[in-house]
Amino acid sequence: MTDKQYPSNLYLESAATNVDFAKQVPVEAVIVMAKELLSLRNAPDGWKLVPVEPTEEMVISGFESQPDECLSDPVVWEKYSQMSGCQQASYEAQLCWAAMLAVAPCYGTK
């Protein structure tokens, strides 16, 4: 079995729930399954696993990231105020996304 040949779902389910079946699983298949599990636990560089539904903290951080004339750095606000509407919307989306990712819980934590 190579890394490209993944066991079927039925095979995996049987290996996970039937001790007698699991005892007969070839070592090669166990290695493939272990590699797959490891790949699911770790996001590639530049990626982050986040919840499908954002947490309340993520939503609040996203809303609070929007530039504000009173709260933003004056240099940032000046640059922002000179952008077109579409550029502002894009910038706001980038700030929102970054703020939400910054507070997103790490995969495997509550």
Q: Both 64 and 88 in a single domain?
A: yes
Within a domain: 47: no
- Return the SS3 of 93: helix
Number of domains forming the structure of the chain? 2
Nearest of 63, 9, 57 to residue 33 by alpha carbon: 9
Q: Both 29 and 65 in a single domain?
A: no
Distance CA 29, CA 78 (A): 59
- The answer to whether residue 107 scores a pLDDT higher than 80 is no
- The answer to whether residue 3 scores a pLDDT higher than 60 is no
Distance CA 46, CA 109 (A): 20
**What residue ranges in the chain does DSSP mark as E strands?**
none
Within a domain: 109: no
More confident residue, 44 or 101: 101
Interval 57-85: pLDDT, tens: 999 999 999 898 888 889 999 999 999 99
Within a domain: 108: no
Range of the domain at 15: 9-41
